[in-house]
Amino acid sequence: MATIRELRCSLCNHTYAPDAVAYTCPVCGEVGTLDVLYDYDALRATLDRDAIGASREVSMWRYRALLPLGDDAEVPPLRVGGTPFYHAPRLAADLGLRAAWVKDDGLNPTGSLKDRASAMIVARALEGRIPVVSTASTGNAAAALAGVGASVGADRVRIVIFVPASAPEAKIAQLLVYGATVVLVEDSYDVAFDLCFAICQEQGWYCRNTGINPFTAEGKKTVAFEIAEALGWRAPDALVVSVGDGNIIAGVHKGFSDLQRLGWIDRIPRLIGVQAEGSSPLVHAWQNGTAAQDMPPEDAQTLADSISAGIPRDRAKALRAVRETNGAFIALPDEAILAAIPTFARLTGVFAEPSAASIYAGARRAVELGYLHPEDEVVFLATGSGLKDVRRAQQSVSGGLRVPPTLEAIRQVLGL
């Protein structure tokens, strides 16, 4: 395993021994989310990236030597990670970029990148013999935890989920199919988040809440490892990703940062985070130079439920990821996000849910604003499957040729 050297607060830089703190910085509170830092000198001396390349493992556990699990620790059986990485020349041409690729994490077992975090958290629960894991979610993190939990068995790890009652029906159904205990909170995601964390602390459950648990980013960082390896162990010029709580963009930044510390890549890409205008606190903070601890909560209203967050829980690391890489945050109206679903699909063949498809519209806006350039090679990180929210996909398209069941009618409607 990668030996954890310390946990470090992303705000005050105070450090803690690996077992001294379970969640966030005791000094800064919940905004002080923690970085998991390793003995990078030891890793450089013992690891060979070519050996990773020769591995037959096709999941996120391909990078187990860079992850915080014991050598003999059990991992969940679902194959998480190892998702497709597509060259997308038509997408590049449409946006005026030198090259583009799509990392399709919607093809993880439960349909989103968040399977990576849940696989890590469940593995750590198994290793620590923790019987209950809980999370709050707008849908995807909940489905990820429910699915990964089901793969190891409720008799070993019970899953308790808190979601807003307004979450898409398909996402709630997925939780119930997996057998999780589902608490439908008749309020916002942020309220569900706070309730979940409070009950976890009261009952001694392991909380998977985004950002609160520092090991969620350690699972999500594996997507950066896969991207760098697919590009021949180099970083793209930029990466575009949708952002809600900020934990995915923080995880991507951590993954590339780990590789740079190891000397396996020479730079970290510019990170472009995309938010909905109705849920864009990180955009406002970035534009105004606001510190994470000074960000006020906002009323989040967007059809892109996966990136709806009134107060991003991993805001300190998300802002740092963009600021340190000379990236940007982009805000989009819901109309642009909805329109991006079919456009992105037709340019790439990837069917993405609203939040994931927003990366297309966000990139177009970034080109207009000069944050992406014609000479750039850009990776588009699609974080969730379009099957997660078919209702929104239906709203994004129209048409269909209705005909009587005759060849003559078919020839006529097709202009043959």
Task: With a cut of 70, say whether residue 413 has pLDDT above it.
Answer: yes
Q: Between 140-152 and 115-128, two packed helices, what is the crossing angle to 10 degrees? A: 40
26 in a domain, yes or no? no
Do 317 and 291 contact (CB within 8 A), yes or no?
A: no
Do 329 and 271 contact (CB within 8 A), yes or no?
A: no
Q: Is the dihedral of CA 60, 66, 70, 72 positive or negative?
A: positive
pLDDT digits (tens, 9 = 90+) for 238-272: 999 999 999 999 999 999 999 999 999 999 999 99
Total number of domains in the chain = 1
95 in a domain, yes or no? yes
Q: What is the pLDDT of residue 139?
A: 78
71 in a domain, yes or no? no
Distance CA 32, CA 35 (A): 10
- When the pLDDT of each residue in the chain is averaged and rounded to a whole number, the result is 95
Do 302 and 274 contact (CB within 8 A), yes or no?
A: no
Q: Between 247-262 and 115-128, two packed helices, what is the crossing angle to 10 degrees? A: 80
Nearest to 90 by CA among 397, 380, 330: 380
138 in a domain, yes or no? no
- Quote the Cα angle for 276-279-136, to 5°: 115
Q: What is the pLDDT of residue 40?
A: 96
242 in a domain, yes or no? yes
Q: What is the pLDDT of residue 1?
A: 66
Out of 162-176, 198-212, 216-230, least confident range: 162-176
Out of 162-171, 184-193, 215-224, 347-356, least confident range: 162-171
Do 255 and 222 contact (CB within 8 A), yes or no?
A: yes
pLDDT digits (tens, 9 = 90+) for 24-67: 999 999 999 999 999 999 999 999 888 888 889 999 999 999 99
pTM of the predicted model as reported, rounded to 2 decimal places: 0.95
41 in a domain, yes or no? no
pLDDT digits (tens, 9 = 90+) for 263-308: 999 999 999 999 999 999 999 999 999 999 999 999 989 998 889 8
In terms of residue numbers, what domain contains 329? 85-110+216-395
Distance CA 114, CA 245 (A): 12
Distance CA 380, CA 382 (A): 6
Q: What is the pLDDT of residue 2?
A: 81
Written as six digits, the tokens of 397 are 């398209």
Under the banding of pLDDT at 50, 70 and 90, the label for residue 215 is very high
Do 320 and 257 contact (CB within 8 A), yes or no?
A: no
Task: With a cut of 90, say whether residue 353 has pLDDT above it.
Answer: yes
Return the CATH number at 349.
3.40.50.1100
| Pairing assessment for the beta strands 34-38 and 4-9 based on DSSP bridges | antiparallel
Nearest to 133 by CA among 199, 178, 56, 77: 199
Instruction: Give the three-class secondary structure for 128.
Output: helix
144 in a domain, yes or no? no
Distance CA 273, CA 270 (A): 10
Strand partners, 329: 273
Separate counts of helices (H) and strands (E) for the chain: 16, 13
DSSP 61: G
375 in a domain, yes or no? yes
